[in-house]
Amino acid sequence: MDSAPTAGGRWKLPRWVPQAFGYVLSALCLVWAMRRYQFSELWPTIRSLDWRWVAVAVIADLSVYVCHAWRWNTLLEPVARLRLWRTVQAIYIGLFANEVLPLRVGELIRCYLLAHWNGLRLSLGIASAAVERVIDGFWMLLAFAITAGFVGFDPRLTLGVQCLAGVVLLSALVLVWIVLSKERAAVILREKKWASALRHIVEGLQLMGNPRTLGACALISALYLLLHMFSYWALMKADLFDFSFWSAAGVTVIIRLLTLIPNAPGNAGVINFACIVAMTKFGAEKNEAATFSIILFGALTLPLLIGGAIATAMTGLNIGELRDRAKRGVDPSAARVPDSPRTAG
C-alpha cells in the first residue's frame, strides 16, 4: 500500500492524499462559483465576444511563456547557453502536464526536460525554478501592494499575503546567503545528513549567483507579469467589460495569488472562484464574473492544451511517461533510464 512505513519506521503520507485534497478544493470552489449561476447567459455572451480581442489575449498569453523561456535561459547563462525554442518546448510540455495532471507536476517535468536535453543536473533545473519563484513572488507582492491602495481587501486575504511575503523574504535571504557564503553553506550541508538531497540544489544556486543575470531576470520577470495582465485586460475588452488596464492588473494579481495552492488540473474550479472574488472587488456582478471566469478558463486553457500536446508529441513520449521519468530523476537512488526523449527537429 502507498501508506507503508519507511525504513526508519515512520509512516509515509499516502500519495493519494495530496491529490484528493486538490480535487476536493477544486470541487468546493466550483460549487461555490457556479451556485445560482444563470447558465442561460453563457452562450449569448460567447456569441457577443469581440473575437479580435480574444485573439490578442490568446497571443499575449502564449507569448508570456516565450518570455518565461527567455528568462530561464538568462538565469542559466552563467552555467550553459541554451537554445530558446528548446526551452520553450520544455515549458509548454510542463504547462500541458499542469492542464491534464493534478498538483502541478509539470513544474518537475519541465525541469527534467531542460536538464536532460542540455546535459545538466536535474537539481540545477529545480534550483533555477526556485529562483524564478522567488523573483515572481517579489513582483506579485509589489503588485498586490499597489492594488491594495485602490481596493479594500478581505483581512484574511491580506493576512495570507503577508504570510506569503514573509516566506518570499525568508527565501530571498536564504538564496542571498547561499550565493555569498559558498564555503559555509557547503560545510553545513556536509555536516547535516538530512541536507544531502539539497546539496546539489545549493551548488546549482551558487553557479547561478551572477548579479548581472539575476538583475536581468528580475526585469524580464516584470515583463512576464505585465504580459499576463495585458492578456487578462484584452479578454475583458473582448467581453465588453469597462475595466481599465490597472483594474485588470489587480484582477490578475488576485487570481494568481488565489491559485498558488496546487489543485486539480488546469486550476479548474479554483480559477473560477478566484476570478469571481477578484472581479466583484472591482464592481462586477457575480453572475457576470462567473461567465467571464468560464471564458477565461477556456481562452487560456485550450491554446495551452493544443500547444502542449504538439510539444509533447515531438518528444515521442506521452505525458505519463515523462512524468515517471521526471520523478525517477529526482530520486538519487533510481537507476538511469537508458532510453530518453528524442530531440525535436
* Bridge partners for 257 per DSSP: none
> In terms of Cα–Cα distance, which of 96, 108, 102, 105 is closest to 306?
96
Is residue 269 situated within a structural domain? yes
Q: Which of 17-21, 80-84, 283-287 has the lowest mean pLDDT?
A: 17-21
117/169 Cα distance (integer angstroms): 33
* Cβ atoms within 10 Å of 218's Cβ, excluding its own: 14
Residue 338 reports pLDDT greater than 50: no
What's the domain range around 163? 62-330
| pLDDT for the residue numbered 185 | 53
| pLDDT for the residue numbered 336 | 42
Q: Which residue has the higher pLDDT, 261 or 110?
A: 110
274: number of CA atoms within 13 Å, CB side?
A: 23
Q: Which of 28-42, 153-167, 246-260, 295-309 has the lowest mean pLDDT?
A: 153-167
Q: Which of 19-33, 134-148, 244-258, 287-301 has the lowest mean pLDDT?
A: 134-148
What one-character DSSP code corresponds to residue 240? T
pLDDT tier, 204 (very low <50, low <70, confident <90, very high otherwise): low
324/66 Cα distance (integer angstroms): 26
Residue 72 reports pLDDT greater than 90: yes
Average pLDDT for 112-136: 90
3/11 Cα distance (integer angstroms): 6
**Distant-in-sequence, close-in-space partners of 300: CB < 8 Å, separation ≥ 6:** 58, 61, 231
Place of cell 528580475: 218
* Identity of residue 140: M
Q: Which residue has the higher pLDDT, 206 or 338?
A: 206
Is residue 339 situated within a structural domain? no
Residue 314 reports pLDDT greater than 60: yes
Is residue 155 situated within a structural domain? yes
326/324 Cα distance (integer angstroms): 5
Total structural domains within the chain: 1
What one-character DSSP code corresponds to residue 342? P
- In degrees, to the nearest 5, what angle opens at C-alpha 138 toward C-alphas 123 and 169? 75
Is residue 45 situated within a structural domain? no
Residue 121 reports pLDDT greater than 50: yes
pLDDT tier, 340 (very low <50, low <70, confident <90, very high otherwise): very low
Average pLDDT for 44-69: 96
pLDDT tier, 225 (very low <50, low <70, confident <90, very high otherwise): very high
CA distances from 327 to 100, 109, 338, 345 (A): 17, 8, 15, 26
70/158 Cα distance (integer angstroms): 32
Average pLDDT for 305-322: 95
| pLDDT for the residue numbered 200 | 52
Mean pLDDT, all residues of the chain: 84
Residue 17 reports pLDDT greater than 90: no
Residue 15 reports pLDDT greater than 70: yes
Q: Which residue has the higher pLDDT, 128 or 345?
A: 128
Is residue 340 situated within a structural domain? no
How much of the chain exceeds pLDDT 90, in percent? 54
Is residue 12 situated within a structural domain? no
231/271 Cα distance (integer angstroms): 15
| pLDDT for the residue numbered 89 | 97
| pLDDT for the residue numbered 345 | 38
| pLDDT for the residue numbered 188 | 53
Q: What is the pTM of this model?
A: 0.85
Is residue 181 situated within a structural domain? yes
Is residue 8 situated within a structural domain? no
Place of cell 478581505: 154
